[in-house]
Amino acid sequence: MPLFRPASWTLLAATGFALVAGSTSAPARQPANNDLPRQPPAYREVSVLKTARGLSDQKKAKEAFAAFAQYNAEYISHPRVYTAPQEFRPEPAPPGSPPPPSTADALITELNRHILVPFPIQQSGPIVTQDEADYIRELGAALDVALKDVIEKNPERVVRVNATRMLAAACRSGATAHYPTVTGLITNPANPPEVKYYALQAAANLLAAYDLNDYRSRKHSNKPKEVAALIAAVQDAILNPDALVPAPAGAALPPDQLQVRGFIRRQAVRALAQVRFAEFKVPDGPTLYPAFTLAQVAVSDPVLAPPPAEAEIAEAVIGICNMTPPRGQAAQPYAYAMADAIATGLITFATPRAASPADKSLPWRGYAARLNDALKLWRGLFDANFDPARPTGFAPGVAPKPVEDLAAQAESRVLSPMDGAGPIDVKGLRLFRDDKNIRGDSKWTLTPFGDNPKLVIPKKN
């Protein structure tokens, strides 16, 4: 399943970054015609097509998808969605009075019912197969056209934000039409930070979707070139401080805006964590190393400003554990380098909780469970025959020794205690890392990729 639960609505009033209707712009202007959009006759056809196991009449299906998408785009753009919550409504409502308009959250929830998600393990419905490929492609294309128009052209900022949220929901399908749109939203410097935040959520949903024609390979849902462009955009959002919240010309970013930058960057880390390959190779193109970028976050590389917070580090560690490692002889140096980065990240992550067991600044127990599951998955990914449909069905001892040992030590010393099973032993995990188990081993390295020796993970204590 995707490695995080995307936030549906975010408020950062303390940092000056509020994503609430009416706080990012003036209320939407009231048009002469105040009627809400009505569901077109073709709207219900989409529900039928979702379960039809194929499109028998593609022309008719495309017309239904276009009408469905346009309805959603018009509704999320309508001023009544944003002004109605501010209006007085007597209780009980007078007989015959119209119901209030749907909220943005309700519209997105309804859209989610029509999205098919390619994933190798059955979740809320049957596993998506090749029979649904046409449905995913055509519905995605229709939604992309309609929502992109709103995001790029609507004058109201809150409308653009909610349309991007809706696009993020649509991206759960992995439809190929969304890749260039989402990549463009992330890389366009004209887009405000709140739009980029939800564009990064859309990127995470896209990258979490599998190629429904080949679940076993763990491939993403589009061709390597398009996937690589999206990965590169997300990596730049992490490494380039001005990509998310640019500093004023000739001046430093104010401290409160640094918090905003860190908050949005955490979403970029979550997005990159959905990449399923430590190195992403593109025919006739440069190789990308998303695992190295996440390792930089895990060890708090000084190039990152502001320094990563504990939650961001945890997301980076989970992401590294989600990535298929290099194969053959390249697996061992990668295992030692990443074991060091993960151990360092866990030490940094757990230190505040170890010092203050009553601290509630993060959902520590939830993170501990996710990290434990991630380390178990990481062990299995070293098996060349790993089956994502059976993530725990790998052969014992298949992972290199530092990976096996780190998973056991992290669970016993940090993650299980964080879940309430005793005191957290950060010092013990640091001694394990520094002793013969990782750093004291003659095979230890901080260069995870032999074909690119310039990528060296900074050594942190």
In the predicted model, what is the mean pLDDT of the chain? Answer: 89
Number of Cα atoms under 13 Å in the Cβ half of residue 187: 14
Q: Classify the phi-psi angles of 222: left when phi > 0, otherwise alpha if psi is within -120 to 50, otherwise beta.
A: beta
Q: Are strands 17-18 and 11-12 parallel, antiparallel or unpaired?
A: antiparallel
- Residue 304's pLDDT is 94
pLDDT at 33 over 60: no
Note whether 278 and 300 are within 8 A (CB): no
Model pLDDT for residues 246-255, shown as the tens digit of each residue: 888 878 888 8
Q: Which residue has the tokens 């020794």?
A: 401
- Give the pLDDT band (50/70/90) at residue 72: very high
* 17-26, 56-65, 121-130, 420-429: least confident range: 17-26
Sign of the C-alpha dihedral computed for residues 194, 197, 203 and 208 taken in this order:
negative
- Residue 18's pLDDT is 40
Residue 336 CB contacts under 8 Å (≥ 6 apart), including other chains: 400, 402, 438, 441, 443, 444, 445
* 4-8, 115-119, 355-359, 457-461: least confident range: 4-8
- Give the pLDDT band (50/70/90) at residue 3: very low
Q: Work out the percent of the chain whose per-residue pLDDT is above 70.
A: 90
pLDDT at 30 over 70: no
Note whether 143 and 167 are within 8 A (CB): yes
Cα-atom radius of gyration of the chain, to the nearest Å?
23
- Give the pLDDT band (50/70/90) at residue 19: very low
3-class DSSP assignment, residue 356: coil
Type and span of the H or E element at 206? helix 193-208
- Give the pLDDT band (50/70/90) at residue 97: low
When mean pLDDT is compared over 2-6, 17-21, 112-116, the highest value belongs to: 112-116
- Give the pLDDT band (50/70/90) at residue 34: low
Task: Report how far residue 70's alpha carbon sits from residue 63's, in angstroms, rounded to the nearest whole number.
Answer: 11
The two structure tokens encoding residue 413: 């010393």
Measured in degrees and rounded to the nearest 5, phi and psi for residue 303 equal: -70, -15
Model pLDDT for residues 352-402, shown as the tens digit of each residue: 999 999 899 999 999 999 999 999 999 999 999 999 999 888 888 889 999
- Residue 98's pLDDT is 65
- Residue 90's pLDDT is 65
- Residue 436's pLDDT is 85
Q: Work out the percent of the chain whose per-residue pLDDT is above 90.
A: 73
Residue 450 CB contacts under 8 Å (≥ 6 apart), including other chains: 326, 329, 330, 333
Domain boundaries defined on the chain? 1-84+103-229, 277-461
* 120-134, 213-227, 352-366: least confident range: 120-134
- Residue 240's pLDDT is 93
98-125: average pLDDT: 89
Find the distance separating the first CA and the last CA of the chain, reported in whole Å: 33
CA 163 to chain centre: 17
Model pLDDT for residues 133-180, shown as the tens digit of each residue: 999 999 999 999 999 999 999 999 999 999 999 999 999 999 999 999
400-414: average pLDDT: 96
Q: Which of 401, 346, 402 is nearest to 372 (CA)?
A: 346
199-214: average pLDDT: 97
Measured in degrees and rounded to the nearest 5, phi and psi for residue 92 equal: -75, 160
3-class DSSP assignment, residue 277: strand
- Residue 332's pLDDT is 95
pLDDT at 10 over 70: no
Residue 217 CB contacts under 8 Å (≥ 6 apart), including other chains: 211
- Residue 27's pLDDT is 38
Model pLDDT for residues 272-301, shown as the tens digit of each residue: 999 999 999 998 889 999 999 999 999 999
337-342: average pLDDT: 98
Task: Report how far residue 36's alpha carbon sits from residue 108's, in angstroms, rounded to the nearest whole number.
Answer: 16
pLDDT at 23 over 70: no
- Give the pLDDT band (50/70/90) at residue 211: very high
- Residue 56's pLDDT is 84
Residue 91 CB contacts under 8 Å (≥ 6 apart), including other chains: none
pLDDT at 330 over 50: yes
pLDDT at 212 over 90: yes
167-203: buried (b, 16+ CB within 10 Å) or exposed (e) per residue?
A: bbbbbbbbbbbbbebbbbbbbeeebebbbbbbbbbbb
Q: Which residue has the tokens 């955490």?
A: 266
- Residue 26's pLDDT is 37
